[in-house]
Structure 1
Amino acid sequence: MNWTAFITCAVTGAGQSHLKSDKVPVTPAGIAAACVEAAEAGAAVAHVHVRDPETGDPSRDPALYHEVVARVRDSGTDVVLNLTAGMGGDLVLGPPEAPLPLDAAGTDLIGAGERLVHVEDCLPEICTLDCGTMNFAEADYVMTNTPGMLRAMAARIRAAGVKPEIEVFDLGHLWLAKTLAEEGLIDDPVLVQLCMGIPFGAPNDLRSLMAMVDNLPAGWCFSAFSIGRMQLPYAAQAVLAGGNVRVGLEDNIWLDRGVPATNGALVERAATILSAMNVSLMTPAEVRAALNLTKRW
C-alpha cells in the first residue's frame, strides 16, 4: 500500500478520442489549459501529447510542444510537465498477403534525435520512453522501439538532464528497462508507468498487474493505469499495489455512464478515491524531491 501518492493526468493522447468527445483538447491553448485544470484539481504531473490544431490528428511538431510548455509555464501553475517521446516509431505493414511495401501513409519511422527534438528544446522535467515494441489492436500497425533505438534515446534523455518515465506494456518491456538501468542509461530513482489493459499488452486483471509489480526492482517508483471503464478503479488498484495514479482523457473519456469527462473531473474523482482511502496527495514540489527532478523555470 502506498499512503502518499501522486496523480498524473494524461490530458489528450494521440488517439482518435477527439472525434468521440469534444472535451479532448486539440489546440496548444486547449492542451495547456487542460494541464492547468488538472493541476488545480490535484494532479502533480501533466502528461502531454500535441495535435494538429486544424485536424486534431496526432503531431510531433516541436513548435506545438514549445507553445504548450510556454503557456503552462507562463500561467505560473506549479505542475511537473511530462512530454511524450513516443511519436516517430509507427510501422504500418501492408495486408497479410503483401506486407511489403510498407503503408507509407501510416508509417512514421524517424531517428532518435528527431524523436527528441521537442524534449531537448523544451527541457521538461520528465519525458516518456516506450520500452519495447508492441502490437496494438490495429491489424497491421506495430509500435516499434528496438533495443538500439531505446539505448540511443535513453542516452540523449540522460544527457539533457530529463527524467525518463519508462512506459511498460508487458513483462518483456520491464526486462529491457532493467537492462538499460544496468547499463547506466537510466539514473535512479527509475520511474515506471505500468500501462495495463491495452491490446495486446498486459491485461488489466489483478494477477497481471501484480506480476509486473513483483518484477520491479527495489527502489523503483511506479504508477499504474488502465483504459476505459477501468481507469478510475485503477486509481485504487494502483495505490493498493504500492504505486501512484494516472487518469486523463488520453485513456478514458467518460466520468460516469453517459457522462463525458473532463481532465479536471477525472483528477477530482481520483483524488476523492484516494482521500477516502486515507492516501495523501503529493504536491509537485514533493514529486520533484522524490524523483530528483530538475525544475528549469
Structure 2
Amino acid sequence: MTKTIVTVAPTGGMASKAANPNLPTQPEEIAESVLKSYKAGAAIAALHARRPDDEATCNASIYRRINTLIRQRCDIVINNSTGGGSSGDMLLPRPDGMFESNFEERLKGLDAEAEMATLDGFTAVDVFGTREILVITSPSRCETMAKRFKERNIKPEWEVFNPAHILQDVTRLIEKGYDKPPYYINIVLGTDRNFQGGMPYSHDLLTAMIRMLPPQSVWCLSAIGPAQLPGTTQALLLGGHVRVGLEDNGYYSKGVPATNEMLVERTVRIARELNLEIATAAEARDILGLPAPRR
C-alpha cells in the first residue's frame, strides 16, 4: 500500500494571531513550526508568506527566506502558495468598492525555488469580513500560470474547491501537458461560508469528487474548521493523503487553540491506529515523482 502523506499548512493567507497566538507568521516562526511538524510526521509544508506587519504577500524574497530557513532544519517538501491571501500585497482596490486578488503578485510565489506550488485554476469570490475579493483566474491566466510552473520546473498542487474546478481547467491543463503524472490534486472542502465557489464538507461530496479526478491522480483532502477531523479521518479511510494545520483550523477541540504540531500529531496517531504507514519526506517525493531537494 502507498504510504500516507501528511501535509502541514502552518500559516495560510487569512488567519491572524488575534484569533490564535500560536499562528506562525514570520520566517523564523514558520521555520520552527514546520520543523516541529516535520518531527511529528509531516512530509510536505504548504507555505504562505507574510509581510513584517503580518499582512499577506507572495514576495519572493520573503518566500526565499522561509524556504532557506526550513531547508537548514529539515528535508520536508516545500510547497509555496500562489493563492496569496486576503490582505496586504494581495489586494487591488476596484472602483466598485470590491477588491481583486493581485494576479501578478500571486505569480511571485513561483520565484523562490520551491519544489511544489499551489495552482488555483478557477475564478471565485473570497469573502473576508466586509471585503469581497474577486479571485480572477481566467482560462488565459490559468495558462500563464501553468506555463510559469513548467518553466520553473515546479510541480503543481492543483487546488480544487468544487467539481467544476476538476472538470474544467485542471483537466484541460493536464490534457495539454502542463503536468506529468502522478497529478497531485488537493480537494478543499468546508469553505462554503466565506468562499463563493467553495462547498461544505460531506463524506458523499468527497467521494463524488474523487471519482471525477483525472486518471493517474494522487489526491489530498484539506477540510476547513470543524470539518478537519472528520474529513481527514474519512480521507484516510478512502486511501487519500491529508492536510492539517492552522491555515485550515485554529482549534484542537472546542475552545482549545491548536498548534500545528498538535494537529499533525493527532492525524499521525489516527493513521497509525488505522494501520497506515506515514510517508517520510523522501517517500513523499517518490510518490509524487519529485527529485531530491537542492541543499
**Corresponding residue of 1:225:** 222
**Corresponding residue of 2:40:** 41
**Corresponding residue of 2:54:** 56
Q: For 2:280 and 2:149, how far apart are their aligned partners in 1?
A: 24
**Corresponding residue of 1:133:** 123
**Corresponding residue of 1:96:** none
**Conserved? CA contact 1:17–1:253, under 8 Å:** no
> What TM-score do the two structures reach when normalised by structure 1?
0.89
**Corresponding residue of 2:9:** 10
Q: For 2:43 and 2:183, how far apart are their aligned partners in 1?
A: 18
Kindly report the root-mean-square deviation, in angstroms, between the aligned alpha carbons of the 2 structures: 2.0
**Structure 1, gaps ≥5 residues long:** 94-99
**Conserved? CA contact 1:88–1:109, under 8 Å:** no
Alignment partner of 1:195 is 2:188: yes
1:1-297 superposed matches below 5 A: 4-53=3-52, 55-75=53-73, 77-87=74-84, 101-103=95-97, 106-111=99-104, 114-120=105-111, 122-138=112-128, 140-175=132-167, 176-199=169-192, 200=196, 201-294=198-291, 295-297=293-295
**Conserved? CA contact 2:202–2:231, under 8 Å:** no
Shift of residue 61, structure 1, vs aligned partner: 1.7
SS at match of 2:17: helix
Query: What is the identity, as a one-letter code, of the residue corresponding to 1:134?
Result: A
Q: For 1:102 and 1:243, how far apart are their aligned partners in 2?
A: 42
Identity %: 33
SS at match of 2:118: strand
Shift of residue 116, structure 1, vs aligned partner: 2.9
What per-residue deviation string (whole Å, max 9, x for no partner) do you get for residues 122-163 of structure 1?
A: 221110001211223446322221111111111110121110
> What TM-score do the two structures reach when normalised by structure 2?
0.90
**Conserved? CA contact 1:12–1:25, under 8 Å:** yes
Query: What is the identity, as a one-letter code, of the residue corresponding to 2:72?
Result: D
**Structure 2, gaps ≥5 residues long:** none
Q: For 2:27 and 2:34, how far apart are their aligned partners in 1?
A: 11
**Conserved? CA contact 1:6–1:282, under 8 Å:** yes
What per-residue deviation string (whole Å, max 9, x for no partner) do you get for residues 177-214 of structure 1?
A: 01101111122111100000112312201121111101
After superposition, the Cα gap between the structure-2 partners of 1:107 and 1:134, relative to the gap in structure 1 and judged at 3 Å, is: closer
Q: For 1:259 and 1:48, how far apart are their aligned partners in 2?
A: 24
Q: For 1:118 and 1:204, how far apart are their aligned partners in 2?
A: 28
SS at match of 1:38: helix
**Conserved? CA contact 1:46–1:79, under 8 Å:** yes
**Conserved? CA contact 1:225–1:238, under 8 Å:** no
**Conserved? CA contact 1:66–1:118, under 8 Å:** no
After superposition, the Cα gap between the structure-2 partners of 1:88 and 1:279, relative to the gap in structure 1 and judged at 3 Å, is: closer
Count of residues in Structure 1 that have an aligned counterpart in Structure 2: 284
Shift of residue 242, structure 1, vs aligned partner: 2.6
After superposition, the Cα gap between the structure-2 partners of 1:32 and 1:102, relative to the gap in structure 1 and judged at 3 Å, is: farther
Q: For 1:102 and 1:92, how far apart are their aligned partners in 2?
A: 12
